[in-house]
Amino acid sequence: MPDQNSCDVLIIGSGAAGLATALRLSPRLKIHLISKGRLYEGSTRYAQGGVSAVLDPRDSTASHAEDTIQAGAGLCDPEVVRMTVERAPKAIGWLIDEGVQFTRDDVNNNASGYHLTREGGHSHRRIIHAADATGRAIEDTLIARLEETHRIEFFEDHLALDIIREPGRPNGRCVGAYVFDRREHRVKVFRAKAVVLATGGAGKVYLYTSNPDVSTGDGIAMAWRAGCRVGNMEFIQFHPTCLYHPKAKSFLITEAVRGEGGRLLLPDGSRFMHNFDARGELAPRDIVARAIDHEMKRLGADCVYLDISYKSPDFVRQHFPTVYERCLEFGYDMAREPIPVVPAVHYLCGGVVTDTSARTDVEGLYAVGETAFTGLHGANRMASNSLLECLVFGEAAVEHIDSYIDGIPPPPELPEWDESRVTDSDEEVVVAHNWDELRRFMWDYVGIVRTTKRLQRAQHRVELLQREIDEYYGNFRVTNDLIELRNLMLVAALIIESALGRKESRGLHFTADHPDTDTDHPPRNTILGHSPDGAWPTGTTVRQARS
């Protein structure tokens, strides 16, 4: 039998959630961390804005919680919100202790000593940031710290394929994962006492997204196949302002540009956001994205414009150096002219159902970050609460793992991946065509504004493609593209089913057939689970707290 990689904790994903979890685990534990690409290739690296936390005495955790709950449109879990905002200052302190260089404020005598900005949905300045490249600063620092410890083994270019549960036990605990080595083109077995999913979101299920290419919903799909429930998959956040340019690949223009006074303009130069919300450009992202979508469709325009050029050039270059330089590469000087922007898929508010210790329905399996549905974001994530969630729930997972893992026996030898009845494919074009079709119909039919008819069309198409991919998967050796496409097909099906089950408009889910929010019944989350015979889904229910 080939050697099987064995450890105490297997972490799948190398963004903020995975790195923070790995760095906080006890030094006595053997930890393996796998990354689909290079360690630096996750969504965290592209997070520009910052991390929300109450660091100013004029602010309060009660206000942070209230803003979060208001943005969440009635679906935030108050207990989870309270836990997260109360732990936020400590999480920022931990990052500072680890060496993250946040932008200082030497002008306004801020009590925290750091420059705090304000973003959509926030009633105070509470976004701590490292210029406009906060994600990069956090990721670079945490990776450097992990490399200094010499106690964590990294496996780059490894794509997790499926979770392994105890053989012979239908409800057995998680004991590892099958992992595809992208360099050697073979499947390996990783054994572990505990597995943490930190694989990020699923932006690549849509044609236009601010997410990197690795965001293919792998953790959500693996958890579902392992028997976990998923929640609130219909709530897809479209970032309102991504650079509009054929070669920009949906480069995100940070929310902080609007937080510092950036104005949204129509092609004729007129402002329009106050026609949709009294908060104007500082309204939550779902409102801003729908307003832009409405105006583009009304006018037949390819884009709208974001203008902060009325500020001094020094202000623009100092506050947004990364965005400024990137825009210059595409021929736009944001210090002197408005820049063209459009909405693009940015964040998935739903995911694998977890409790406040990041536990999933499968014993020994955890989910942290965008992969998870914790109850923090509700129907709409408030700006800069995402990195915060990674830090807080990474710590919560560590606390639980450290409390029990010494009593767990080492995982047994596990069955190797069976390729005895498959062959190499000579039809890779099938994968490429299906990938393209999926992303296009998701954009057309399951986008910012939905209808029942569009969703039913999308459901019919995804069912046909799933059958085709399942047949392909059963007959040919796995490849990177096939694994990702299989996961995206499943995630798309979960999104569509969730959207069809919500007969109202709420937060990020807007359907023209039910444009009003249901006020006759208590707000409910959408939870999809497995029926006893293995069929899915069980439909929409009120989210139940895990015992």
Kindly list the catalytic residues: 285
Distance of CA 391 to the CA centre of its chain: 14
* Residue 528 contacts residue 233 (beta carbons within 8 Å): yes
Q: What angle do CA 447, 69, 352 make, to 5 degrees?
A: 60
What does the alpha-carbon distance between residue 315 and residue 118 come to, in Å, rounded to a whole number?
A: 16
Identify which of 524, 528, 522 has the alpha carbon closest to the alpha carbon of residue 509: 524
Q: How far apart are the first and last CA of the chain?
A: 39
- Nearest CA to 275 out of 244, 298, 242 is that of 298
**For residue 140, how many C-alpha atoms fall within 13 Å in the half-sphere facing its CB?**
12
Residues 6+ apart with CB under 8 A from 334: 306, 308, 309, 316, 320, 323, 324, 327
How far is 30 from 10, CA to CA, in rounded Å?
9
User: Please, which residues bridge with residue 6 across strands?
Assistant: 191
138: number of Cβ within 10 Å: 27
* Residue 72 tokens, joined: 């969440």
Phi, psi of 238 (to 5 degrees): -95, 120
Question: In this structure, what are the phi and psi dihedrals at residue 305, rounded to the nearest 5 degrees?
Answer: -130, 145
Find the helix or strand (DSSP H, E) in which 10 lies.
Answer: strand 5-12
DSSP state of 183: T
R_g of the chain computed on alpha carbons: 22
In this structure, how many other beta carbons lie within 10 angstroms of the beta carbon of residue 470? Answer: 12
Q: Which of 167, 47, 139, 74 is nearest to 375 (CA)?
A: 74
CA-CA distance, 309 to 114, in Å (whole number)?
A: 25
What is the rounded CA–CA span in Å between residue 52 and residue 46?
16
Looking at this protein, which amino acid is placed at residue 88? A
Phi, psi angle pair for 166, to nearest 5°: -50, 125
